[in-house]
Amino acid sequence: MSHAVARLRTARLARCVKPFHARGSRSLRCAGCRLVPSHCLCAWRPRIAAQSAVCLLMHDVEALKPSNTGWLIADVLADTTAFAWSRVEVDAALPVLLGDPQWQPYLVFPGEFVAPERVVSEVQPTAGKRPLFVLLDATWSEARKMFRKSPYLNSLPVLSLQAEQLSRYRLRRSKRDDHFCTAEVAALCLEQAGDQRAADALNAYLDVFSQHYLAAKAPRAVNLTDPLHQRLSQFL
């Protein structure tokens, strides 16, 4: 099954002048879930209807990384779009999407780095419009640069999330526990918008993906009947 992030990955690979080698990328991997075949996740992929949508603005090689969690968002939510970020060039389809009257876009970013008049702390119901969450899919240092150097995003309200839980993401650890991976941020946005089932499915899928990914690195077998898989099975 192809989705926005998979298509972006294919396009990025076509532009590579030399092979891209992320950690673990030399292993034979499933084209559907990016895991080694012995730990394939494709049979566990949920597909959940939601009122909200997600727009991923992805830093250069994010779509190529096997550990990228923007891919998981696109697996779960059909209304996921993905664009490659560039400081000097903007995909013409991105401003068209952001200006589409069916959507109310929110740029998701910490409010402490934003002018107060742009910041909102919750999703505002807007008649005739669905929430569209714009996520900067990158490392924290890259995301800050993307925020500063993307003037076409300056007109968007900034949704600043106040999450109480610590990050559960274990594949590319930030030095700060309050730095969430992209899939965790998307789940928090979905909760804000009232798409609780989609948020729960994405969280469950992230947990199982992380478990399979780390088990494949060990390597060790995965118990497909454990509580994490049982929780995810509710959304299949």
Token code pair at residue 208: 């199982």
Q: How confident is the model at residue 123 (pLDDT cuts 50, 70, 90)?
A: very high
32 is a domain residue: no
pLDDT at position 27 over 90: no
Rounded Cα–Cα distance for residues 80 and 134 (Å): 10
pLDDT recorded at residue 24: 52
Buried b / exposed e over 95-119, threshold 16 CB at 10 Å, is eebbeeeebbbbbbbbbeeeeeebb
pLDDT recorded at residue 124: 87
122 is a domain residue: yes
Split into its structural domains, the chain has a count of: 1
194 is a domain residue: yes
108 is a domain residue: yes
36 is a domain residue: no
The CA–CA distances, whole Å, from 10 to 15, 110, 182, 219 equal 9, 31, 20, 28
Q: How confident is the model at residue 2 (pLDDT cuts 50, 70, 90)?
A: confident
30 is a domain residue: no
Residue 38 CB neighbour total at 10 angstroms: 13
54 is a domain residue: yes
Q: Is 45 helix (H, G, I), strand (E, B) or coil?
A: coil
Q: How confident is the model at residue 21 (pLDDT cuts 50, 70, 90)?
A: low
pLDDT recorded at residue 70: 97
pLDDT recorded at residue 15: 81
The CA–CA distances, whole Å, from 231 to 44, 74, 204, 219 equal 11, 20, 7, 23
34 is a domain residue: no
Rounded to an integer, the average pLDDT of 94-110 is 97
The range of the structural domain enclosing residue 156 comes to 4-19+46-233
Q: pLDDT (tens digit, 9 = 90+) per residue, 189-203? A: 999 999 999 999 999
pTM above 0.85, yes or no: yes
